[in-house]
Amino acid sequence: MHNANKAAIEAQSFSVKRAEVEFHSFASFGEPEKAMGKYNAENKRRLGLLRHHADFYGCMTPFLEIGANVGHTSYMLVNEFGEQGIALDLSADALRNGRLVMERLGLEREPLRMAGDALHLPFKDNSLRMVLAFQMLSQFQDIDAVLAEAKRVLQPGGIFVFAEEPIRRLLSLRLYRAPYWEQMNAWERKLHEWGLLGFLTKDVIGAEQEESFGIRQNHRTKLWQWVHMIDRHFADRRLSVFVPQRGWGERWTYEVLRWFDKHKSEWLPARFLGGTLAAFCRKAGEEPEPDPRCDNLVSCFSDLLKCPDCGGAVSMGGDLKLACTECDYTAANEDGVYNLLRSEDRRELYPGLRSDVIDFSMDDCSERLIEGFDPIEGIVGNRYRWINERAVFRLTPVRPGQRRLRLRGFCGQAFLSQPSQPKIEVLANGVQASTHTVTRPGLFVVETDLPEATDYEITVLAGPSHRNPPDERWLTFNLSLMRLID
């Protein structure tokens, strides 16, 4: 048990879990049109991959998708393939937005949705036919621990599918982390178009935004390390690699490397240019007969589960509430989503409207705003208030000890297009705590260590202010979440 806990801690820290929840709650549907375009493109790509390898895996039910975000791929599986399963993500708010995806796409069926931790899956051993993971293994510093947990919950002969996971690129100077296209400078965009930016950057392009938010990614895994890790856990596998060919720089390099590969395959280009890996992995053992109860997954759902706290059996009551039969753990159905995180994680990742949290997506929190905030704007998952050059609010710790202030905001291009470089200064109870310089547009997070106190009056000074016609207000940036953390 000690070694298992040690591996889990090394795999993903609590601060990273908190950043994941905050980021996915915003990114899942904070910009609906952009999000829907992304989800449709991902589902089209994943649909093709699954159909191409259908002869390897057969039946999927009951399936579990870990790191599911809004669950858009799980919605595809239940509607396109007629399978039944569960979409699991750390962010309960992201999963709740799955209903919006369902409405926009006109879908009839939905998966079960559950907030949970991929390192501590609330499922019994040998309970699931398939586990899927897309773009999520690299969020863990110890990927091996996630594979071990996925294997534990799979039935004998069950299938673990992962895809869109980065292969470490050897042909790179690894000078810095590059942002996404929307945040790139002009010279970065030009190099990206030519296929040369990847030869300079550390990790994959776009990692900078997640890193700045507090999400720690693992892009260190080389192609041969992926293969050895899979073979340690699974009895059979089928792999596919996808190598980038952006611009003339990567296209020419790809052709040269492929010519040198003795099988004229993608493997040598993947080692040197990176790219992504997809894998279909089979657990040892003979596949059991399908459970007829899973023709209606809701009826056998609780039989698949174990208590996140004590590991005991779980039952479902008439009110659809899940309850452990051996301890006092319960999980209600909240807008279609069960939160089955361990109690200690659930308390801190979902604090609600406590005195140490201001979250405009949950409430207007006006009683703790002292001055400088405009009315709430935005939509579900992305509600915020613009501030001018001075904004003041109050936060009260819920327990003693030194605190850190975490601010989440958004900086528009107009704020950056000022004669002088925009800055953010934070004062706590009248004393300067930190100063930050803003260099790129988009979502940002600022963290500041605070001296111990029983109450905090936080002042945020930002400037210079600007106008963004036709809006006549003088604005700087907006804030969506302010909270105290350990």
In sequence order, what DSSP letters do the residues of 351-384 get, joined into one string? Answer: --S-TTEEETTT---GGGEEEEEPPPEEETTEEE
pLDDT at position 392 is 97
Amino acid (1-letter code) at residue 479: L
pTM: 0.90
Query: pLDDT by residue (tens digit) across 383-408?
Result: 999 998 999 999 999 988 889 999 99
Average pLDDT over residues 299-328: 92
User: What pLDDT, on a 0 to 100 scale, did the predictor assign at position 7?
Assistant: 42
Q: How far apart are CA 357 and CA 405, in angstroms?
A: 10
Nearest C-alpha neighbor of 265 from the set 237, 241, 231, 230: 241
Which pLDDT does position 291 carry in this prediction?
66
Over residues 156-175, mean pLDDT: 96
pLDDT in tens, 404-463: 999 999 888 888 877 888 889 999 999 999 999 888 888 889 999 999 999 999 999 998
pLDDT exceeds cutoff 80 at 222: yes
Please give the Cα distance from 243 to 266 (Å, whole number).
7
* pLDDT digit string, tens, across residues 95-142: 999 998 899 989 999 999 999 999 999 999 999 999 999 999 999 999
Q: Taking a C-beta distance cutoff of 8 angstroms, is the pair 14, 345 a contact?
A: yes
Confidence of residue 210 (pLDDT cuts 50, 70, 90): confident
pLDDT of residue 6: 43
Residue 221 has pLDDT above 50, yes or no: yes
Percent of the chain with pLDDT over 70: 97
Residue 225: enclosing H or E segment and its boundaries?
Answer: helix 223-233
How many Å apart are CA 227 and CA 277, to the nearest integer? Answer: 10
**Cβ-based neighbours of 38, under 8 Å, separated by 6 or more:** none
Asked whether 16 and 151 are in contact (CB, 8 A), the reply is no
pLDDT value for 305? 96
For the chain, first and last CA: distance in Å?
Answer: 26
The per-residue pLDDT for 285 is 92
Which domains does the chain show, CATH number per domain? 2-168+220-304 (3.40.50.150), 357-485 (2.60.120.260)
pLDDT at res. 301:
87
Contacts of 59 (CB under 8 A, 6+ apart): 83, 129, 290
Q: Which residue has the higher pLDDT, 33 or 153?
A: 153
List CB contacts of 392: < 8 A, sequence separation 6 or more: 369, 370, 371, 372, 457, 458, 459, 460
350 pLDDT exceeds 80?
A: yes
Q: Which helix (H) or strand (E) holds 15?
A: helix 14-27
Is the pLDDT at 11 greater than 70? The verdict is yes
Cis amide leading into 269 (omega within 30): no
Give the pLDDT of residue 2. 38
Distance of alpha carbon 468 from alpha carbon 168, whole angstroms = 42
What's the mean per-residue pLDDT of the chain?
A: 91
Q: For residue 156, name the pLDDT band (cuts at 50, 70, 90).
A: very high
From CA 16, how far away is CA 482, in angstroms rounded?
17
- What confidence score (pLDDT) does residue 8 get? 42
317 vs 149, which has greater pLDDT?
Answer: 149
Of 123-137, 335-349, 368-382, give the lowest mean pLDDT range.
368-382
Could you tell me which residue, 208 or 123, shows the higher pLDDT? Answer: 123
The tokens for 7 are: 């591996």
pLDDT number for residue 294: 63
Residue 476 in contact with residue 415, Cβ under 8 Å?
yes
Above 80 in pLDDT, residue 293?
A: no
> Can you give the pLDDT at residue 78?
95
How much is the pLDDT for 10?
64
Extract the tokens encoding 100: 């919006």
**Predicted confidence (pLDDT) at residue 20 exceeds the cutoff of 70:** yes
pLDDT for residue 430: 94
